[in-house]
A = this chain, B = another copy of it.
Amino acid sequence: MSLARVTQFSISLDGYATGDVQSLEKPFGHAGMRLHTWMFSPQGVAGGRVQHGVDGALAAVGWDGSVGAEIMGRRKFGPQTGPWEDEEWRGWWGEDPPFHTPVFVLTHHPRPSLEMEGGTTFHFIDASPAEALEQARAAAGGLDVRIGGGPTTVREFLEADLVDVMHVVLVPIVLGRGVSLWEGLEGVESRFDIESVTSPSSGVTHLLFQRKGA
């Protein structure tokens, strides 16, 4: 069965997954890299290699060939909003993005697909979460689909009850402002079994949500 998965999704104690205000220079706004440094702890991914602790294992989940397509919001793809003024933008990740699969970018302003190096192709679609998941599943060749973020996109998929597995990383910082993962999701935990584990190396808490009965 092809699961819809959220992996390595980092939030602050106050629930923000990205700061204010995103720009070309600051993809995560005032949060900077603070939500993501756990990944590069000594037991995470160091020197370009996955190390041998809890952080490393969980940083690698979903990057092992088990994901066959990705869905992301337009703000994860780039800092632009509204009609594309600059179709030269090819994502934050350079010519060989780390996805190596079809990537469906949700936007009200479709544009031609972008074929990158290494197997990544960005498709730009104006679709509901359910429609996007259907398209991504069709492209995933029986593998799982990653709901890659940002927070607004993950929230929309949770609202539509389309997430099977979710890995949230709780980073013990207070951002104060930004885009919240949890807004409008009162009671969402009731659909999941939740396991928690803290990392002595980075100090974060990994929350592993799995759909009940799945």
Contacts and interface: CB of A to CB of B under 8 A. Distances in A.
Given A14-B180, A14-B182, A182-B14, A198 B187 contact: no
16 contacts: A13-B189, A14-B14, A14-B185, A15-B15, A172-B189, A172-B194, A173-B187, A173-B189, A174-B189, A175-B186, A176-B182, A176-B184, A177-B186, A196-B198, A196-B204, A197-B198
Interface string A190-202: 0000111110000
Contact of A13 (B15, B172, B176, B177): B15
Contact of A186 (B176, B183, B187, B195): B176
Given A182-B13, A182-B14, A197-B198, A174 B203 contact: no
A180 B175 CA distance: 13
A124 to B, nearest CB: 31
Contacts of A187: 173-174, 176
Interface residues of A, number: 28
Interface string A159-189: 0000000000010111111001011111111
Contacts of A174: 182, 185-189
Contacts of A186: 174-177
